[in-house]
Amino acid sequence: MTFTSPVLSYALLSPVLILLGGALIGVLVEAFVSKALRPVVQLTLSLGTLMLALMQVWRIRGEESLTPAMGSLVIDGPAVLIQGSILIIAIISIFLIADTEHFTPLPAALPGSAEEREAEQAGNQVTEVYPLTLFAVSGMMIFPIATDLIMLFVALEVLSLPLYLMAGLSRRRRLASQESALKYFLLGSFASAFFLFGAAYLYGFSGSITFSGIQAAVVGGTGNDVLLLIGMSFLSIGLLFKVGAVPFHSWTPDVYQGAPTPITAFMAAATKVAAFGAMLRIYYTVFANAEWSWIPVISAIAIISMVLGSLVAIAQRDVKRMLAYSSIAHAGFLLSGIIALNKSGLDATIFYLFAYGIATVGGFAVVTLVRDSSGEVTDLNRWKGLGKRSPFAASAFALFLLAFAGIPLTSGFIGKFSIFSAAYENGATAVVITGVLSSAIAAFFYIRVIVLMFFTDAVEDGTAVEVPSILTRATVVISAVITLVLGIYPAPVLDFITDLAIFIR
């Protein structure tokens, strides 16, 4: 028996390899560096790793290869764009994660126990979040470039497992945080079991685990369509769960509310980009010729997500839950880019993902700033009059809300406009009409929050806006600048995306 050694193009894989290397060094830092030095070492290491990976992604832009890793991965324009977006989002989220105020000093201690108090007095910090974040980011980087079912499944788990743990690390309201970790974990692995079962049936249908093999079987039409339909629907359940589309959304509000806010910011933005990146590749290439079977279902899911997300968000009194329901509505808007199934839909979805991800991180960054003596204040009633107390935080939050609502001169308008016009080109009129109507409903509750912050008298109940640390301020300012620039002068970015975004098969 002969054994051929695999041929890897290290240059094209370098962003992922750098991240995994950085994460492993991070684990060693936990073991060998003194407690006092760890936070600064870990922060520098993580930031350096992410920056280096981003530089590598920039350098390999425009390169295309079907075989950077023996046909298991692919590097092309959309891959580079999605990876770049994930890295930029991760960098600005790391600034938020660096604020140790959010994480429990000793996750293993019982909430309220003596050990926990001792750890807090000793100034302990869970610096493990940095390597966990890097592992999650490397999973997210692999997920959209995977071209076989094994890589796809392993990447899905590598991105999910660290997030399950990080959701349980909150310093305040620890029981709620642990509860959100449990819910996220149980529902997440439930969804991955469906995903795996679907993958098994796709393999049974096509006799191949590579995307190209499955696509050939779909085009050839010789296989058993029952196997294809089972495989496709179960695989889609796993993906739709990750993006939080109705009816697989029930984890979203609880996890968004319970997890530490910096983790919520990172997870909400980066997971969505990674999962939609993978969905784009799967639906635009592998399943493209079976569109008769999935376009009606995905359209229905998009419509329900948009309507339910927007309607339920109106009733929320908690700002994190409100943003969670708004993210469900946005999952619906993004699905209309999948349904579009044309070049402009691909461009629009990638632009929307980037714009939405940045605005999400910025929005949650502002949420971390509004605090009283016992931690963050997320009750919207206590946000009254925030504009008078802290014009900086309130105007930044207003900008992000306007971007979510899709008001002109923010990134959200360009994103929504291009994604809906792409879906309209493909004849998805019902989805577009519902999308525009639910955008209008959504605008109502976004603007209600703005009115609450600026035109209502403040109540004196000890709610104050923390003076932001330099890193948190950087997150807010960078996100706000990107959101504005993408809204006022999007042409260079749109052109860049249009030039690059072509799937190779």
Partner 1 sequence: MDASNYLYISALLFTIGAVGVVVRRNAIVVFMCIELMLNAANLSLVTFSRINGDLDGQVMAFFTMVVAACEVVVGLAIIVAIYRSRRSASVDDASLLKR
Applying CB under 8 A, which residues contact partner 1? 107-108, 110-111, 149-150, 153-154, 157, 161, 164-165, 168, 173-176, 178-183, 185-186, 189-190, 192-194, 196-197, 199-201, 203-204, 207-209, 253-254, 257-258
CB of 108 to partner 1, least distance (A): 7
CB of 309 to partner 1, least distance (A): 16
Task: Determine contact, residues 192/156, Cβ cutoff 8 Å.
Answer: yes
CB of 382 to partner 1, least distance (A): 17
Q: Is the Cα dihedral 280, 47, 377, 184 positive or negative?
A: positive
In the complex with partner 1, which residue's Cβ is closer, 254 or 347?
Answer: 254
In the complex with partner 1, which residue's Cβ is closer, 38 or 320?
Answer: 320
DSSP β-bridge partners for residue 69: 8
CB of 315 to partner 1, least distance (A): 11
In the complex with partner 1, which residue's Cβ is closer, 109 or 340?
Answer: 109
For 465, residues 6+ apart whose C-beta sits below 8 A from its C-beta are: 369, 370, 371, 386, 389, 390, 393
Task: Determine contact, residues 338/345, Cβ cutoff 8 Å.
Answer: yes
CB of 204 to partner 1, least distance (A): 4
In the complex with partner 1, which residue's Cβ is closer, 176 or 494?
Answer: 176
CB of 195 to partner 1, least distance (A): 9
In the complex with partner 1, which residue's Cβ is closer, 139 or 387?
Answer: 139
- Nearest-angstrom CA–CA distance, 304 and 180: 24
CB of 60 to partner 1, least distance (A): 27
In the complex with partner 1, which residue's Cβ is closer, 217 or 482?
Answer: 217
DSSP class of residue 379 equals B
CB of 181 to partner 1, least distance (A): 5
Is residue 162 reached through a cis peptide bond, with omega within 30 degrees of 0 on the bond before it? no
* 3-class SS string, 175-214: HHHHHHHHHHHHHHHHHHHHHHHHHHHHHHHHCCCEHHHH
- For residues 97, 102, 105 and 108, what is the CA-based torsion angle, rounded to 10 degrees? -90
Reduced to 3 DSSP states, what percent helix, strand and coil does the chain have, rounded to the nearest 5?
A: 75, 5, 20
CB of 282 to partner 1, least distance (A): 17
In the complex with partner 1, which residue's Cβ is closer, 181 or 480?
Answer: 181
- Nearest-angstrom CA–CA distance, 418 and 423: 9
In the complex with partner 1, which residue's Cβ is closer, 253 or 337?
Answer: 253
* Cα-based angle 338, 344, 350 (whole degrees, multiple of 5): 60
Burial class (CB in 10 A: 0-12, 13-18, 19+), 401: buried
In the complex with partner 1, which residue's Cβ is closer, 119 or 209?
Answer: 209
Q: What are phi and psi of 465, to 5 degrees?
A: -100, 120
